[in-house]
Every structure is written in structure tokens, then in C-alpha cells.
Amino acid sequence: MTVALAWTAIALGSIAPWVACWLLARTYARRIDPPAQPRRPLPEMPPGRSRDGRGDRR
């Protein structure tokens, strides 16, 4: 029983810092990143112009 408790303590001791680090990173990232906003659709381009404005390539 003591050996099992020792192994459990070792396992928890080695896992706990990683879990704490993951939780901290998750909450910190959520605080920094704003919630994703829906992207506005691009305005319709008039015919004869490409998106970069260089005109038709024919």
C-alpha cells in the first residue's frame, strides 16, 4: 500500500505542474485574444479589375 501511495504521489507530482501550466496558458490566452468576430464579406469587385487592382490579365 505504501508503495502504491508513493507511486501515486510521484505521478501526481510530475503531472500537476504541466496541468497548472496548461490551465494558466488557457486562461491567459483567453484574456488576450478577443472573441472571434464574424468576418465581413468582401465587397463585390467591378468586372475588369482583380482584387489587387491591376486590372484584367487577358
Q: Which domain holds residue 1?
A: 1-30
**Domain count of the chain?**
1
Question: Which residue bears the cell 483567453?
Answer: 30
Which band of pLDDT confidence, cut at 50, 70 and 90, is reported for residue 4?
very high
The verdict on residue 52 lying in a domain is no
Q: What is the pLDDT of residues 8-29, one digit of tens each?
A: 988 888 888 888 888 888 887 7
The verdict on residue 22 lying in a domain is yes
**Bigger pLDDT: 3 vs 53:** 3
The verdict on residue 37 lying in a domain is no
What is the spatial distance between Cα 47 and Cα 13, in angstroms, rounded to a whole number? 65
* H-run or E-run covering 15: helix 2-32
What grid cell was written down for 21?
A: 501550466
What is the spatial distance between Cα 16 and Cα 18, in angstroms, rounded to a whole number? 5
The verdict on residue 24 lying in a domain is yes
What grid cell was written down for 23?
A: 490551465
Which band of pLDDT confidence, cut at 50, 70 and 90, is reported for residue 56?
low
Query: pTM higher than 0.85 for the full model?
Result: no
**Bigger pLDDT: 52 vs 40:** 40
The verdict on residue 5 lying in a domain is yes
